[in-house]
Amino acid sequence: MKLESAAPAMGLRVGQLNLAKDGDRAAGELRGLLLEHQLLVITKQQLTSEQLMDFGHGWGDLMTHPSSMAHPNPYVQTLANQGKVKGKGFGAWHSDMTWHPTPPRITMLHAQRVPGSGGDTGYANQHLAYESLDRASRDKRRMFRRHLATQEELVGLSAFHVGKGFGEHVPDSVHPVVRTHDETGRKALYVNPEFTSHVIDVTEHASERLLWPLWLHAVAEEFTYRHRWSPGDLLIWDNRSVMHTAILDYDEPRSMSRIVIQGNEPV
Ligand SMILES: O=C(O)CCC(=O)C(=O)O
Ligand SMILES: [Fe+2]
């Protein structure tokens, strides 16, 4: 394997690896590298849905997503505009399926077809966002008289995450605003503007005043990596550590396969 840093904030580029052949053998080392780097960019892969599932099984149990239940294979979702001009739009930063009581630890996204330009995916390291919070909070207060919560102000807070957007039977969930990574012990911000509706047990005003500055801080450029896709890329990210966003600035065909690996209840 050839390894190089993807960005100062996070991410490791992995080359000279053929997962179709060596996926099982490489999985152990890749799991360690993911814990260290939060995001792996594995280039030049050609995995069928079956091969992607096989590789995923080396990381844990696969989960389904409510929007893919009708697909022939509910474990491998296809994200595609299928050549239709879908129209441009707005993505939102999120960690995957935070409305679920036990959201996926890991997501894997494998590019088949990508636009000539556009359709990048943004990633933001939520360990760095959490760890820099007190300094950022102090600076904002001193220089601009703006409020940004400190680490201490977040202790014991939980937030509500809405799943009902995907259907009546999809659960909503409450999770801590700061979660502790169950394998590394590192803390991360765990609220997002896509699925988090409000902080519970505080007024609506207090919730809004807390969340929006936190979200602005959480996706500061210093914490981010922006991935420009090539066909064959397989990205693996740790949902306990990063948020991501689809950048909907394209109207050419784009097609990705996706699997998610079962996680534990966030604490
Ligand atoms: O299509 C993308 O760029 C990202 C989509 C996404 O949010 C995901 O796969 O979880
Ligand atoms: Fe996502």
Query: How large is the average pLDDT for residues 3-25?
Result: 96
40's enclosing H/E stretch is strand 39-42
Q: What's residue 75's pLDDT?
A: 93
The answer on pLDDT for 67 being more than 90 is no
Region label for 23, one of left (φ > 0), alpha (ψ between -120 and 50) or beta (otherwise): alpha
The answer on pLDDT for 25 being more than 60 is yes
Q: Enumerate residues lining ligand 1, CB below 6 A.
A: 79, 96, 107, 109, 121, 244, 246, 256, 258
Q: How far is the CA of 97 from the centre of ligand 2 (A)?
A: 8
Q: Which of 198, 246, 208 is nearest to 226 (CA)?
A: 246
Residue 89 — very low, low, confident or very high, per pLDDT cuts 50/70/90? confident
Q: Would you give the end-to-end CA distance of the chain in angstroms? A: 34
Residues 263 and 107 sit within 8 Å (Cβ to Cβ): no
Residues 233 and 119 sit within 8 Å (Cβ to Cβ): no
Closest ligand 1 atom, CA of 79? 1
Amino acid at site 118 = G
Structure tokens belonging to residue 89: 């739009």
Pairing of strands 39-42, 12-15: parallel
Residue 81 — very low, low, confident or very high, per pLDDT cuts 50/70/90? confident
The answer on pLDDT for 83 being more than 70 is no
Q: Any bridge partners for residue 221, and if so which?
A: none
Q: 10 Å Cβ neighbour count for 114?
A: 21
The answer on pLDDT for 35 being more than 80 is yes
What mean pLDDT is reported for the chain? Answer: 94
The answer on pLDDT for 90 being more than 90 is no
| Model confidence, pTM | 0.96
Residues 131 and 188 sit within 8 Å (Cβ to Cβ): no
Q: How far is the CA of 138 from the centre of ligand 1 (A)?
A: 34
CA distance 178 to 127: 10
CA distance 38 to 34: 5
E strand map for 81-223: 106-113, 121-125, 158-161, 173-176, 178-180, 187-189, 196-199
Strand order in the sheet with 158-161: 173-176, 158-161, 196-199
pLDDT tens digit sequence for 218-259:
999 999 999 999 999 999 999 999 999 999 999 899 999 999
Q: Give percent above pLDDT 90 in the chain.
A: 88
The answer on pLDDT for 71 being more than 80 is no
Domains of the chain by residue range:
2-85+102-115+228-261, 125-218
Query: In this structure, which CATH number among 3.30.930.10, 3.90.1150.10, 3.40.50.150, 3.60.130.10 belongs to the domain 2-85+102-115+228-261?
Result: 3.60.130.10
Residue 100 — very low, low, confident or very high, per pLDDT cuts 50/70/90? very high
- Phi, psi angle pair for 139, to nearest 5°: -60, -45
Structure tokens belonging to residue 130: 């959490």
192, burial (CB in 10 Å: exposed 0-12, middle 13-18, buried 19+) = buried
Q: How far is the CA of 133 from the centre of ligand 2 (A)?
A: 24
Q: What is the DSSP string of 140-172?
A: HHHHH------HHHHTT-EEEE--GGG-TTSPP
257's enclosing H/E stretch is strand 255-261
Task: Pick the most confident of 81-85, 87-91, 111-115.
Answer: 111-115
pLDDT tens digit sequence for 132-159:
999 999 999 999 999 999 999 999 999 9
Q: What's residue 70's pLDDT?
A: 66
CA-closest residue to ligand 1 atom 3: 246
The answer on pLDDT for 182 being more than 60 is yes
CA distance 127 to 186: 7
The answer on pLDDT for 86 being more than 80 is no
